[in-house]
Amino acid sequence: MPLPLRNAVNSLTEKYSGYCGIFAGDDANGYRFIVGSSSCNCQELATRMRQEFQAKGGGSAPMIQGNVGATAEALRKMWGDLVVPANHSTALVNCQVPAFLGWNASDLFFP
């Protein structure tokens, strides 16, 4: 995953205490993703994504990355169903690969 996206997830994890993820791509070709958290085990999310969507990738407890062939709608639904500790918030960003550096607030989805 490009370093700017990793840096963006790191910035999100400083602001939001739950899962923070960026999914870059489209429904036809799939999404590359990077997810981080300062309070949740991202490896548990990776396991869920492998089980539900046959996602490929891995990482460590604070950060995972990979690719997944799910639709944006399915990913938003899964994201909205995530269980995070009380008083924690999550952040989800969906961006197009050619414009991943130009995402804006309208690209943010908060369950």
- Using CA atoms, how far apart are residues 106 and 44, in angstroms rounded to an integer? 28
Strand boundaries in the chain, DSSP class E: 19-26, 30-37, 56-60, 63-68, 91-95, 108-109
Residue 97 confidence (pLDDT): 38
Torsion of CA 111, 104, 15, 31, to 10 degrees: 60
Q: How many CB atoms lie within 10 A of CB 13?
A: 21
Give the residue with greater pLDDT, 82 vs 107: 82
For the entire predicted model, the pTM comes to 0.79
Residue 47 confidence (pLDDT): 94
Structure tokens, 23:
């999914």
pLDDT tens digit sequence for 26-81 = 888 888 899 998 888 899 999 999 999 999 999 999 999 999 999 988 988 888 78
Q: Which of 11, 25, 66 is nearest to 42 (CA)?
A: 66
